[in-house]
Structure 1
Amino acid sequence: MPDDYGAAPKRVTYGFADIGAGKWRSTIDVTDPDDRVRHMVVDFRRDGTAVRGGGDTSEADEAAFISPSPRVLIMNLAKERRPGSVRVYTVSDDGGEMTESAASVTTNGAPMIRRFHYRRLP
């Protein structure tokens, strides 16, 4: 990641749950280096429609999701109606790992893509 992005978190936990009627809930908990936890939640349909998020909105307050295949989810984030970042989540065949590719720009306006790998908690 670029130097101006800040310190890496200690831990990031994602949750994705089918809440019925074609809707899903995503929860994200980011534990910062100082042990402060930022909690975000959003209920969405996987049809590209923008929805407002809840909890910590320091990075984004709206998101749109689409799922072109069962193990791929694309999320587009915005803050105060301005583009934020695009995230692509890919889940392994066995469901035990997830890769996040996040495209955005640095504070200097240069494009960047960062990639993270996650393992399912027992």
Structure 2
Amino acid sequence: MRFLPRAHVLAFTLMAFATSLSAAAGAPEAALPTHPATSPLIGSWSLDTSRLPMPPDQRPKSVTFTFGDAGGGKWVTRVDIVYAPGVEVHSVSTATPDGTYAAIENSPEADHVALERPAPNVLVMALQKDGVLMSTRIYTVLPDGRNLVETVVYPGANRTPVMRANYFARVR
């Protein structure tokens, strides 16, 4: 299996991260905890599917992300999706937020993930499938602690980067 050179992953990541910073503007960084167990990212987040840029009948019925402390400095990420026809997918990965790749179980989008935490309220995720970078995602918890913005960058038509934002609300 081949992986993208780290420089390519970082280039996509930095481009996407720069756009996500505006979502967190005004967040008092010193007030945010740095340990995974006390990070504002830890918890379950539900996607506002009504804001997805697709026809309502094609939108997933639900998407829930859960970020957790797996111990030993590692993060566990669970993604539960119920697609429009009712098919369910439950993916999980455990990774160290240091940019190294880890396997993802049961994801239709990716087989490996790399994480970085440039700020306590920000998680950068690079998703690969068969050694090809599929997308970079930046999760930013807003200052209210109840809302999260996912900035997604992925290759669109003619490999032109596409960027979109998804909006989540804290479930717990």
TM-score normalized by structure 2?
A: 0.64
Deviations 1:54-94 (A, max 9, x none): 123x2100010000010000000100011110000001223
Deviations 1:80-112 (A, max 9, x none): 011110000001223211110100012542321
Of 123, 147, 154, the match for 1:73: 123
Structure (1 or 2) with the larger CA radius of gyration: 2
Conserved? CA contact 1:2–1:106, under 8 Å: no
Higher fraction of helix: 2
Q: Percent identity?
A: 34
Does 2:111 match 1:61?
A: yes
Aligned-residue CA RMSD (Å): 1.9
Q: Name the counterpart of 2:79.
A: 28
Deviations 1:36-69 (A, max 9, x none): 111111001111111111123x210001000001
Q: Name the counterpart of 1:96.
A: 146
Q: Name the counterpart of 2:98.
A: 47
Q: 1:38–1:107: structure 2 CA closer, same or farther, 3 Å change rule?
A: farther
Q: Where do 5+ consecutive residues of structure 1 fail to align?
A: none
Q: Name the counterpart of 1:83.
A: 133
Amino acid at match of 1:84: M
Runs of 4+ residues over 3 Å off in structure 1:
none
Conserved? CA contact 1:24–1:45, under 8 Å: yes
Higher fraction of strand: 1
Q: Which moved more, 1:87-96 or 1:106-115?
A: 106-115
